[in-house]
Amino acid sequence: MKKSAINRRMFVAGALAASAAVLGTGRIIGANDRVGIGMIGCGRRCQDSLLKDILDFREETNVEVVAVCDTWKQMREAAAAQVQKAAGKKPSQFVRYQDLLARRDVDAVVIATPEHQHCTQLIDAVEAGKDAYVEKPLGMNMEEINRAFDTVNKHGAIVQNGTQIRSLPQSRAARGFVTGGGLGRILKAEQSRNGREPYWYGYAERQISPYDVDWEGFLMMRDKRPFDPKLYAGWYGFREFCLGPHTTQGLHFVDLVHYVTGVGCPKYATAHFSQVEYKDGFTVPDSIEMTLEYPEGWMLRYGQFFGNSGGRYLNIYGSRGTLDASDWGWDGEWPLIGKDSDSPDRIQDGTSLPPAESPPHMKNWLECLRTREKPNAPIEAGYAHAVAGLLADLANSRGRKMMFDETKREIREA
């Protein structure tokens, strides 16, 4: 695919009057042409964050939300109303995403649907000539993430994965510090992320009428069955539609560590997951322990349980000291700790990393739709975090250490 030579600084400065970019649709756009965005999946994540961000940045990046799609009527209509209120124009509404993809005025899509739909919708979108923002995880098995990766690269689509933590100013600062040798040799990364009640409970309690939803459109490639409002509203709690907290929340940590340290896919994994407190018909684990080992010679550990929110932390350990990345946010500084290192050049205690300049995650993608540059979380990042989640998931289900064969792009017993 032909790529534009547009420079981002020129774009921000407004010097695009005589320039043009070629979108994934093949449509040539100039400085004054708006990029049409379609929202696939209009639930809480969409309305509270993704759609809100697009509407906040729409004038600065010259984009327009022209269509919304959801299998749940009320969510679809709420998203359309949100667009109309902010932009003064109501978008087209669709029940099936295929109908949205058929629209020529849709240049790019945001995919914020249940996890079992991500890869299929991403592949279909890219093959329809659209660029895409896709929520994590990228996929639920190796076959589909391999196909998605190949499809995106074949068509040259601009794809941003929804691991927005890597775009925080703190994360950008940490990446520069760590890859520049500030922590010395990396020894381990570790997070404990605990909560009071599983997040899928709140979703599953929502009241839904079968007359308001497209049940078959939700199931997609999964086995047909009678309408189940608890499953539809609380799909986060069912492994057929979501593997569990390790791929829903844990991959934010994994992706952050990948970004900060500059590594790719892990090589090995061991894991143990369990349902300790919260069964109630749900099938995802509520207690997680997993360890990933990287070719660079260090390990990552992720632990999580529900029922008590204590003991939360996120640390990256190096030979010169520790980076405390426990507090995520747009402002603030991540502390650096040197007292636990015996290195003669250990980090001085009491220091911290000031935030570095970093565009918001959604704005970064919207800008890249014009510049055709790779966004901050490209398909390679989505692939690496998906491999990490699947590697740990299979280590748990098979009860043994698993490995990722990078050459064959497959997971097998170690």
**Is 105 a domain residue?**
yes
For residue 354, give the 3-state DSSP assignment: coil
Nearest to 284 by CA among 299, 304, 260, 270: 304
Confidence of residue 19 (pLDDT cuts 50, 70, 90): very low
- Whether 331 and 369 map to the same domain: the answer is no
- From residue 86, alpha-carbon distances to 8, 55, 79, 82, 305 in Å are 26, 7, 11, 6, 39
- From residue 52, alpha-carbon distances to 48, 58, 206 in Å are 6, 10, 22
**Is 114 a domain residue?**
yes
DSSP-assigned letters across all residues of 14-72? T--TT-EEE-TTS-EEETTPPEEEEEE--SHHIIIIIHHHHHHHHHHHTEEEEEEE-SB
Confidence of residue 329 (pLDDT cuts 50, 70, 90): confident
Q: Which residues of 216-238 are buried (b: 16+ CB within 10 A; e: fewer)?
A: ebbbeeeeeeeeeebbbbbbbbb
Residue 367 structural domain:
8-164+362-378
* Span 258-296, pLDDT tens digits: 999 999 999 999 999 999 999 999 999 999 999 999 999
Confidence of residue 27 (pLDDT cuts 50, 70, 90): low
**Is 217 a domain residue?**
yes
Structural contact between residues 306 and 318, judged by C-beta atoms closer than 8 angstroms:
no
Is residue 213 left, alpha or beta, with left meaning phi > 0 and alpha meaning psi from -120 to 50?
A: beta
Confidence of residue 3 (pLDDT cuts 50, 70, 90): very low
Element (H, E) at 348: none
For residue 402, give the 3-state DSSP assignment: strand
Number of domains the chain contains:
2
Q: How far apart are CA 387 and CA 203, in angstroms?
A: 27
Q: How far apart are CA 63 and CA 29, in angstroms?
A: 12
- Whether 222 and 124 map to the same domain: the answer is no
The structure tokens listed for 39 are 């929202």
For the chain, what percent of residues have pLDDT higher than 70? 93
**Is 67 a domain residue?**
yes
* Span 348-369, pLDDT tens digits: 988 999 999 999 999 999 999 9
The structure tokens listed for 132 are 């895409």
Structural contact between residues 286 and 200, judged by C-beta atoms closer than 8 angstroms:
no
Is the predicted pLDDT of residue 5 greater than 50, yes or no?
Answer: no
Which pLDDT score, from 0 to 100, does residue 20 have?
61
Helices 51-61, 73-87: axis angle to 10 degrees equals 30
**Is 197 a domain residue?**
yes
Task: Give Cβ neighbours of residue 186 (< 8 Å, ≥ 6 apart).
Answer: 178, 261, 296, 298, 316, 317, 318
Q: How far apart are CA 39 and CA 109, in angstroms?
A: 6
Q: How far apart are CA 145 and CA 30, in angstroms?
A: 34
Choose between 331 and 402: higher pLDDT: 402
The structure tokens listed for 118 are 């991500």
**Is 190 a domain residue?**
yes
Is the predicted pLDDT of residue 1 greater than 60, yes or no?
Answer: no
Which pLDDT score, from 0 to 100, does residue 17 have?
33
- Whether 238 and 250 map to the same domain: the answer is yes
Which pLDDT score, from 0 to 100, does residue 8 have?
33
For residue 333, give the 3-state DSSP assignment: coil
Is the predicted pLDDT of residue 29 greater than 80, yes or no?
Answer: no
**Is 33 a domain residue?**
yes
- Whether 217 and 307 map to the same domain: the answer is yes
Q: How far apart are CA 318 and CA 342, in angstroms?
A: 11
Q: Letter for the amino acid at 57?
A: F
Structural contact between residues 268 and 295, judged by C-beta atoms closer than 8 angstroms:
no
Burial of 180 (0-12, 13-18, 19+ CB in 10 A): exposed
- Whether 396 and 312 map to the same domain: the answer is yes
- Whether 101 and 192 map to the same domain: the answer is no
- Whether 208 and 122 map to the same domain: the answer is no
User: Which domain CATH number covers 203?
Assistant: 3.30.360.10
* Span 34-84, pLDDT tens digits: 999 999 999 999 999 999 999 999 999 999 999 999 999 999 999 999 999
- Whether 182 and 295 map to the same domain: the answer is yes
Provide the mean pLDDT of the chain: 93
Nearest to 400 by CA among 227, 271, 214: 271
Which pLDDT score, from 0 to 100, does residue 331 have?
80
Task: Give Cβ neighbours of residue 253 (< 8 Å, ≥ 6 apart).
Answer: 189, 191, 193, 302, 314
Which pLDDT score, from 0 to 100, does residue 23 have?
78
Structural contact between residues 294 and 266, judged by C-beta atoms closer than 8 angstroms:
yes
- Whether 40 and 52 map to the same domain: the answer is yes
Which pLDDT score, from 0 to 100, does residue 31 have?
62
Confidence of residue 257 (pLDDT cuts 50, 70, 90): very high
Q: How far apart are CA 414 and CA 404, in angstroms?
A: 8
Confidence of residue 130 (pLDDT cuts 50, 70, 90): very high
- Whether 354 and 391 map to the same domain: the answer is yes
- Whether 98 and 155 map to the same domain: the answer is yes
User: Which domain CATH number covers 119?
Assistant: 3.40.50.720
**Is 2 a domain residue?**
no
- Whether 271 and 408 map to the same domain: the answer is yes
Nearest to 135 by CA among 248, 254, 262: 248
